[in-house]
Amino acid sequence: MYFTETESLSKKLAQEALGYKEQGFDAMKMKVGLNIEKDIENVKAVRQAIGSDIDLMIDANHAYSLTEAMKLARAVESYQISWFEEPVSPEYYSSYSQLRKTTSIPIAGGECEYLRFGFLHLFQQQCVDIAQPDICAAGGLTEVKRIADMAYTFGVDLVPHTWGTGIAVSAAMHLIANIDMPGSRLNNADALMELDRTENPLRDELVQPTFSPHNGRLQIPNEPGLGVNVNEDALKRYLLK
């Protein structure tokens, strides 16, 4: 859920969140980073709209300083935030680790890290509870599988950053289906992945079959490779002239 210019952003975000709940999603993420007061107002509106049984994450895209991020985290803890994503700039490792010590909200990040060497530093500095490598940027499926295995040894969850084309979505689905998750309870939690719901023809037209969530769930394709084929007619429409 993103910022838009509207008379009441809080109302618009709450209505959008209700739409996702009606579609069967039991987790959703919203943007923060306008300013702390407006962020609090928006988070409160969304949480009140969706109730307490839906996971709600917030993503600042490193909009804040450490002091600001701590203030926002304290203010929204009571709204059951499942993670606070990229609260500060990704190169500020010590700020990430300090923030983790001051809030009960899990801290997520890593979409701007590259290769397992970058993530090793992230884990050694105890920066995140949830690692978010982007498969298309962090080194591909093989490298991100190594990152996932390393995250497991540090007791860090992994939810890949997934953006762009349907190829990226399919790659993330296959990765998530083939990684170990920390913990060993009898009934493991469902795997979680990011699925952008904004208009995106490169996601919805570029590959076949397309991905249509049903009751908030995606079916992993079982065809060879990534399980999708590039729609060359669609590709030609988006080639640079």
Beta strand pairing status for 229-230 and 207-208? antiparallel
Q: Which residues contact 165 (CB under 8 A, 6 or more apart)?
A: 202, 203, 206, 207
pTM of the model: 0.91
Q: Would you please indicate which residues are annotated as catalytic (active-site) residues?
A: 161
List the domain boundaries for the chain.
9-194
> DSSP code of 188?
P
Phi, psi at 96, each rounded to 5°: -60, -50
Q: Could you tell me the two tokens for 126?
A: 């105890």
Is the pLDDT at 45 greater than 90? The verdict is yes
- pLDDT-derived band at 23 (thresholds 50, 70, 90) equals very high
Q: Are 127 and 83 in contact (CB under 8 A)?
A: no
Lowest mean pLDDT among 18-22, 60-64, 101-105, 214-218: 214-218
With tokens 């009441």, the residue in question is 8
Phi, psi at 192, each rounded to 5°: -125, 135
CA nearest neighbour of 188 among 180, 178, 200, 196? 180
The matching CATH number, chosen from 3.30.470.30, 3.40.50.300, 3.30.342.10, 3.20.20.120, for 9-194 is 3.20.20.120
Helices (DSSP H) in 125-163: which residue ranges? 140-153
Higher pLDDT, 164 or 168: 168
Distance (Å, whole) CA 99 – CA 73:
9
With tokens 């039991």, the residue in question is 26
Tens digits of per-residue pLDDT, 135-161? 999 999 999 999 999 999 999 999 999
CB atoms within 10 A of CB 137: 17
What mean pLDDT comes out for the span 104-111?
97
Amino acid at 127: C
> DSSP code of 56?
E
- pLDDT-derived band at 241 (thresholds 50, 70, 90) equals low
- pLDDT-derived band at 182 (thresholds 50, 70, 90) equals low
Tens digits of per-residue pLDDT, 205-232? 888 888 888 888 888 888 888 888 888 8
User: Mean pLDDT across the chain, nearest whole number?
Assistant: 91
